[in-house]
């Protein structure tokens, strides 16, 4: 098949499928397609990340070799029918107040790259970003890929408290903190958009493979 996947049991009830080890649009789309396809199987849960998937299954319900061949068959079929073109681009708009009390690290990001805060905001809002995966905490979306002009390493010591809605940068990723939590990303702004609300019929505002456009609003 197109990519060489590695299948390994990482616990008696978890199968890890790796199809790469980098942040890449095409790999991520394949992961999405696979995660949808694997739902056909009798499994407990599925976790997706940048370039791998983890299938949790009941080891007493499945004969492992049979299960693995089912997984591989679905994998092959999905990859055979995979096309990297976007069928429908789901673009979410997120309104952000940048800098000041909302984005305490905006100045650091600007200084780090020897550009102005204005230029950071312009660069950041000039692109749309893909949601590669959700993790760390419920609804936290790992998005990218940020241009090298504004990519900035994490804080060396994470903050104990980051406000809900904070928009952060870590390397060439960006993310939004769904709830008040500790965090080490460089916070450049904040949105009032509720990212995760368990009471809502659709609790997660962002999902893997969604796209996001950040729009600046005045503080």
Partner 1 sequence: MIAEIEVIESKFHTIIQGNPRLGYKSFGVPESGPVDPFTAVLANLLLDNDPYAPLLEITQGGFEFLVHKNTYIAISGADLNATLIRGNKSFAIPIGISVKLLDKDRIVFNGSNRGFRCWCAFCGGIDVVPILSSTSTLETSNLGGIFGRRLLKGDVFKVKNDTQPKNKILLPLLNIENKEIVCLRVVKGSQYDKFSKDDVDKFFNNSYIVLSSSNRIGIRLSCADKKIKPVSGFNILSDPSPLGAVQITTDGKPIILLQDRGTVGGYPKIATVIKADLIKVAQLKPYQLVNFKLVSIEDAINEYYNVLKLMKKSILEINVNFIVDYMRLLREYDISYFRYNFKIFNFLLRRD
The residue with tokens 């204005």 is: 118
Nearest to partner 1 of 23, 150 (CB atom): 23
The answer to the question of residue 161 lying near partner 1 (CB under 8 A) is: no
Contact pattern from residue 39 through residue 68 relative to partner 1, giving x for each residue in contact according to CB under 8 A and a dash for the rest = -----xxxxxxxxxxx-x--xx---x----
Q: Which residues, numbered 20-39, are part of the site for partner 1 (CB under 8 A)?
A: 21-23, 35
Phi, psi dihedral angles at 113 (to 5 degrees): -105, 5
CB of 115 to partner 1, least distance (A): 27
User: By C-beta, is 62 or 97 nearer to partner 1?
Assistant: 62
Q: Does 7 bind partner 1 (CB under 8 A)?
A: no
Best CA proximity match to 169, nearest among 217, 219, 89, 98? 98
Rule CB under 8 A: is residue 184 a binding residue for partner 1?
no
201 part of the interface to partner 1, by CB under 8 A: no
Residue 78 contacts partner 1 per CB under 8 A? no
- 150's CB contacts (< 8 A; 6+ apart) are 109, 113, 120, 123, 124, 169
Distance between CA atoms of 50 and 95, rounded to whole angstroms? 25
Nearer to partner 1, 50 or 214 (CB): 50
160 binds partner 1 (CB under 8 A): no
DSSP string across 92-161: EEEEEEESTTT-TTHHHHHHHHTS-HHHHHHHHHTSEEEEEEE-SSTT-EEEE---TTT-BPPPSS-EEE
Per CB under 8 A, which of residues 132..151 are in contact with partner 1?
A: 133-140, 142
Phi, psi at residue 24, to the nearest 5°?
-150, 135
Q: Tell me the C-alpha to C-alpha distance, in Å, between residue 186 and each of 55, 94, 150, 153, 166.
A: 32, 18, 11, 8, 9
Residue 193, interface with partner 1 (CB under 8 A)? no
Q: Does 174 bind partner 1 (CB under 8 A)?
A: no
Which residues contribute to the site for partner 1 (CB under 8 A)? 8-14, 16, 18, 21-23, 35, 44-54, 56, 59-60, 64, 133-140, 142, 178-179, 181, 196, 198-199, 203-204, 207-208
């Amino acid at each position: 098949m197109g990519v060489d996947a590695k299948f390994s049991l990482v616990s008696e009830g978890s199968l890890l499928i790796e199809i790469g080890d980098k942040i890449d649009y095409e790999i991520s789309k394949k992961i999405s397609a696979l995660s949808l396809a694997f739902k056909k199987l009798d499994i407990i849960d599925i976790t997706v990340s940048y370039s791998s998937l983890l299938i949790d299954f009941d080891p007493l319900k499945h004969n492992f070799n049979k299960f693995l061949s089912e997984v591989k068959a679905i994998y092959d079929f999905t990859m055979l029918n995979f096309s990297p073109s976007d069928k429908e681009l789901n673009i979410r708009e997120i309104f952000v107040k940048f800098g000041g009390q909302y984005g305490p690290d905006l100045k650091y990001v600007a200084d780090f790259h020897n550009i102005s805060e204005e230029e950071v905001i312009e660069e950041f809002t000039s692109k749309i970003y893909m949601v590669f995966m959700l993790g760390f905490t419920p609804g936290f979306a790992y998005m990218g890929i940020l241009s090298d002009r504004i990519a900035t390493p994490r804080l060396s010591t994470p903050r104990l408290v980051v406000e809900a809605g904070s928009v952060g940068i870590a390397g060439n990723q960006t993310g939004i903190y769904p709830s008040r939590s500790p965090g080490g990303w460089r916070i450049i702004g904040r949105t009032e958009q509720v990212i995760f609300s368990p009471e809502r019929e659709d609790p997660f505002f962002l999902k893997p493979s969604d796209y996001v456009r950040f729009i600046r609003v005045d503080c």
